[in-house]
Structure 1
Amino acid sequence: MIFFLSQPWRKINWQDKQTDLQFVKNYKPQVKGQQLRILLHGLVGAGKSSFINSVQSVLQGRIPNTFYPFVFNNIMGLGPNKGVLVDDVKLALKGHIKDGYLFNPVSQISEDHAFYKTFPELNDKVHVLVLVICADKLPLLTDKFVKELLEIRKAASDLGIPQVALLTKIDQACPEVKEDLKNVYKYEYIKKQMEKLSAEVGIPMNCIFPVKNYHEEIHVDNDTDALLLSSLRSIITLYFTMSEK
């Protein structure tokens, strides 16, 4: 049985996505020339590439000739057979792996590899780590996968890298949300999945964001945009807040 809450437990201004869009437009890094590097990781097929493409769809053409000082990196997914090695993720966090490297699921990158950067600069290092995971796959998390996530999370925490999580494919996990995306914070099922993820990997609830990526649509949608922009604004805000400390 799915329980419907009378009031949403988290507020989203569905009618005013322009505020979040303007926030993203106005964001300027504290260090001149810095790019906010956001690394996405998670299980194979979690929707990492789709999220990046969806954000691009939201921003494309809406603010002409605007340079956005953030960069998304999509790393090979973790998997039971041929997934990215945890040690390679740790090196990526430190900026040792150049853009364009094809990760080897059976062998860690060596220091003499052409795509290994011995002395990373500020823009090479990861500034925010984003875990991407499907809402309908949470009940299937294995102990091995959780252990790898915790190891990556600890490495990021030791480096002072703030972390968030995106709960994707919420429309597939909950038919009522597929029917009306504005119900996302009214259905207890979605909240329970977020609480489960928080308990498993230790990411606080206020750093977990349910989103719906574009995958079949040919036109952008206001409600989908609102969730995507809200999550992007939260990622930027989290980094800004952490860097102020």
Structure 2
Amino acid sequence: MTGRATGYALFQDSFTTDYRTFKIQKEARGTFYPFALSDIMGLERDTGRGVRVEDIKLAMKGHVRDGYKFNPNAALSDQDNGYNNNPSPNDKVHVLVCVVSAYALNLIPPETMTKMREVQLAARALRIPQLAVLTRIDEVCPEVNKDIKNVYKSIYVKKQVRFYY
């Protein structure tokens, strides 16, 4: 699965442009784990760039079809081909995961943090559990770099987590 992961250079446009759902295959060919991961376009600082918060809200409710190409200039409407009028429970988001680099967390512009907060509040209103994944912690904290077990003792990492929440 990690072979499908994409790179993202800080302050550049999102690599992902459409809504993609990935099933995780078990060892036995043709069988999958009972969950899927969906990937969306990233939030961008400027208007007219990145995924729109309205589209993330629709995706959480199951209204975005797999393969829908996000339009940063216009939200998905119920008249668009990518709109799912009758989402099943399998189409809906059951856990919202936000992946953020510890290296870049304090560089995120306030406009983007505002968008992230709006998504968090929408997920909370929908009773969707949330998880934040902080990556590259070994690169920002020398103690964690020495020994990953120090992550639980790192004041720097604790501050970064508080910054997000």
Greater relative contact order (CA < 8 Å, ≥ 6 in sequence): 1
What is the distance in 2 between the residues matched to 1:152 and 1:44? Answer: 20
Give 4+ residue runs of structure 1 displaced > 3 Å after superposition.
none
Residue type at the aligned position of 2:63: H
Matches within 5 A, 1:113-132: 113-132=80-99
Question: TM-score scaled by structure 1?
Answer: 0.53
Q: Judge conservation of contact 2:138–2:145 (CA < 8 Å) in 1.
A: yes
Change (3 A) 1:124 1:44: farther
Matches within 5 A, 1:13-52: none
Percent sequence identity over aligned pairs: 47
> 2:44 aligned with 1:76, yes or no?
no
Q: Judge conservation of contact 2:45–2:109 (CA < 8 Å) in 1.
A: no
What is the distance in 2 between the residues matched to 1:173 and 1:187? Answer: 11
| Alignment match, 2:134 | 167
Q: Judge conservation of contact 1:92–1:126 (CA < 8 Å) in 2.
A: yes
Q: Judge conservation of contact 1:84–1:105 (CA < 8 Å) in 2.
A: yes
| Alignment match, 1:212 | none
Higher relative strand content = 2
What is the distance in 1 between the residues matched to 2:58 and 2:27? Answer: 35
Matches within 5 A, 1:1-245: 64-65=27-28, 67-81=32-46, 82-198=49-165
What is the distance in 2 between the residues matched to 1:87 and 1:141? Answer: 20
Residue 44 of structure 1, CA deviation: 7.2
Residue 181 of structure 1, CA deviation: 2.2
Q: Deviations over 1:177-196 (max 9, x none)?
A: 23432322232211221122
Residue type at the aligned position of 2:42: G
Q: Deviations over 1:97-137 (max 9, x none)?
A: 01111211111122222221011111001111112111122
Residue 148 of structure 1, CA deviation: 1.0
What is the distance in 2 between the residues matched to 1:130 and 1:115? Answer: 22
Residue 92 of structure 1, CA deviation: 0.5
Q: Deviations over 1:56-89 (max 9, x none)?
A: 9xx88xx732631110111100012321100011
What is the distance in 2 between the residues matched to 1:73 and 1:134? Answer: 19
What is the distance in 2 between the residues matched to 1:182 and 1:154? Answer: 32
Mean CA deviation greater in 179-188 or 67-76 = 179-188
Question: TM-score scaled by structure 2?
Answer: 0.76
Higher relative helix content = 1
Residue 165 of structure 1, CA deviation: 0.7
Residue type at the aligned position of 1:123: N
What is the distance in 2 between the residues matched to 1:80 and 1:129? Answer: 20
Q: Secondary structure at the match of 1:154?
A: helix
